[in-house]
Amino acid sequence: MIPVLIAYSTTEGHTAKVAQFMADALAGEGYRADLVDVGSTQARLVQPLYAAAIVGGSVHMGRHAADLSRFLKANAEWLAAVPLAVFSVSLTAAREDAASRAAAQERIDDLLGGTGLVPVQSCRIAGALRFGEYGVVKRALARSAARDLGAAQGADVEFTDWDHVRQFAIAFVRDHDGAPRAVA
C-alpha cells in the first residue's frame, strides 16, 4: 500500500498530537501514514512517493510557522500532483461564529499563497491552551483567550473535537486513496 504523508508544524506540541491522532485513525482503517515534522531534518528528505498528503500546522500570532510555508513551497510540484488536504489548528477555530470561521480560513489561504497549491479539502481544527508551557506574556494573552472562549483561566484545556479530526482524515483518504490529480 502506498502511504499517505502527514506533514505538520507544531509550536507547543498540540499539532503534533493532532497529526499523530490522524495517523492512528488511518492505521485503524488499514491505511499507512508517514508522519513528518516539517521543522525536522527528515522533512528535507521527503520523497514524492505518496498516494496523498495531509499538511498543516498551528497558528500563532495570526500566522502559520515559516517552516510550514517553506515545506509547501519546496514540495509544491509533487504536492500538486497528489490529492492534498490542509489543516490549520488555532483557537479561532474553537469559535463557531461566521467571522471566526472566515478568519481561520483566511489563515489557510495565507499559508497557501504563493505556492500555487489548491487543496481538495481543508479543515479548521480547534487548538489548545497550555498555560504550563507559557512565559509571562503568553500566559497573559492565553488568559484573555480563555476568557473569550469561556474556559477556565490558568488550566490547560483542549478545544479539539477529536471526532471531527478523525472524520476529516479518514474521509479525505477514502475519497482520494491512490487517485492522482490532474495537473493543470
- pLDDT tens across 64-114, in order? 888 999 999 999 999 999 999 999 998 777 777 788 788 888 888 888 888
| SS3 sequence of 18-33 | HHHHHHHHHHHCCCCE
Domain ranges of the chain: 4-128+161-176
Q: What's the whole-model pTM score?
A: 0.86
Q: Which residue blocks in the chain are alpha helix, DSSP H?
A: 14-28, 66-74, 76-79, 98-112, 136-149, 162-176
pLDDT band at 6; cut points 50, 70, 90: very high
CATH T-level fold of 4-128+161-176: Rossmann fold (3.40.50)
User: What pLDDT does 74 receive?
Assistant: 92
